[in-house]
Amino acid sequence: MPLNPARVRIQTGSETVGSITNLSTSETDIARTTLFWQRTEDTVGFLQQDNYFDTEIRDHKSVGTVSGEPDAFPVFRMIDYPYGSQGLWDHCILPPSTSDVEAATQAVARTNPSRAIVSMPAFIGELRSLPGAIFDRGMSLLAKYPKRARRSNSVVDFNFGFAPLIGDLYKLVYFSTYVDDRVKELTNLHKKGGLHRRWNLETDAGDDVVENVAVWTLEGAWVEVTITRHTHRRRWATCRWLPDVPELALSPADLREQAKFAVNGWNLSMADAWEILPWSWLADYFGNVGDYLLANRNAVGASCSSACIMTSIWTDTSHSVTMAPSWLKVSPASEYYATKHRQPNVPVGLTIATSPFLGARQLLTLASIAYKYR
């Protein structure tokens, strides 16, 4: 028997009761609808370690029902009887997410207590080459377009010239604040249980609308509704950092010294060399080499013992009645559906994207580069 066997728990709530009666035969059909249902799969015991977790929630906030009977020649009588096209528990189609490995690598890189706020070696290298690059760029434009020298590729020049420089200079102004924050992280790192960090990965949403859905056609009563769904997705990672030497006792002065070197990146690593390589940013559009190197940076004697990826998706569904006979009372449905999943112990790794996940800023930059060389 495993030490932490999986368990499945199912929770249900109250239910509604509806009926439909054949008046000629007095036969009655009773329909019961469970308003709330939840299934959770997790583990037993071993709360100190990261465990698998998965849950599904189905909530009929309002059951769609029909009530009434025809004015002439009554055959059926409906009392709060549920109509069709309910309980289709599903989410709207959303764009594909990044893989768990890529997400974990990004989270570990961003929460690494050894991470540099400003990599001084890379900053000095960029500062040294920036004036010459700008001068060469200007002379090239002047020679090629003497009457159109203002045709500068401003997006590229800013994103890969001035933006990193301005950002690093801004961070240097708040150097002491970053050091103080890092000292707090290193202090928690050496406490029992280590350092726990959370990193938000992505948040997105989608919706769909289906019109003219027939949900009731009995006894000459034709009922149509419009079904609207809104889906939201949120993903985040939790990382647990532990010292490489748990019994190592460091004084406040030692921790501050470690924080200074880590924040300014004076402890050279492959991440610094990668940052100043020409066109390394383009490689990171199609992979995660930069994040992988940052995730494995170790300047303070700490390693990530585990990384978990949490995905939470929830969908609100509502019906609005668009067609119904006057004698039939229709109550529209309203539903809530949610799924939550935790994937424990996701490894850090290199990934190559076949279809890179590009944001608006990256697309604008690539479009500007394409325009430059067209």
Sheet holding 76-82, edge to edge: 27-34, 15-22, 76-82, 65-68, 329-331
Instruction: Tell me if 114 sits within 8 A of 298, measured CB to CB.
Output: yes
Token output for 132: 């010459």
Region 172-198: what's the mean pLDDT?
84
Torsion sign, CA atoms 279, 280, 281, 283: positive
Instruction: Tell me if 109 sits within 8 A of 197, measured CB to CB.
Output: no
Would you state the pLDDT for residue 150?
A: 44
Would you state the pLDDT for residue 139?
A: 46
The Cα 259–Cα 113 span in angstroms is: 9
Q: Reduced to 3 states, what is the DSSP secondary structure of residue 233?
A: strand
CA 69 to chain centre: 49
Residue showing tokens 């509502």: 318
Between the CA of residue 165 and those of 169, 266, 274, what are the distances in Å?
6, 18, 17
The Cα 208–Cα 210 span in angstroms is: 7
The Cα 350–Cα 105 span in angstroms is: 8
For the stretch 205-243, pLDDT in tens is 999 999 999 999 987 789 999 999 999 999 999 999 999
Burial class of 77 by CB neighbour count within 10 A (0 to 12, 13 to 18, 19+): middle
Percentage of the chain exceeding pLDDT 70: 70
Q: Minimum mean pLDDT among 94-98, 286-290, 312-316, 351-355: which range?
A: 351-355
Which has more confidence, 175 or 136? Answer: 175
The Cα 247–Cα 354 span in angstroms is: 44
Would you state the pLDDT for residue 135?
A: 46
Would you state the pLDDT for residue 307?
A: 94
Region 163-171: what's the mean pLDDT?
54
Which has more confidence, 291 or 14? Answer: 14
Region 195-206: what's the mean pLDDT?
94
What value does the mean pLDDT of the chain take? 80
Which has more confidence, 190 or 271? Answer: 190
To the question of pTM greater than 0.85 for the whole model, the response is: no
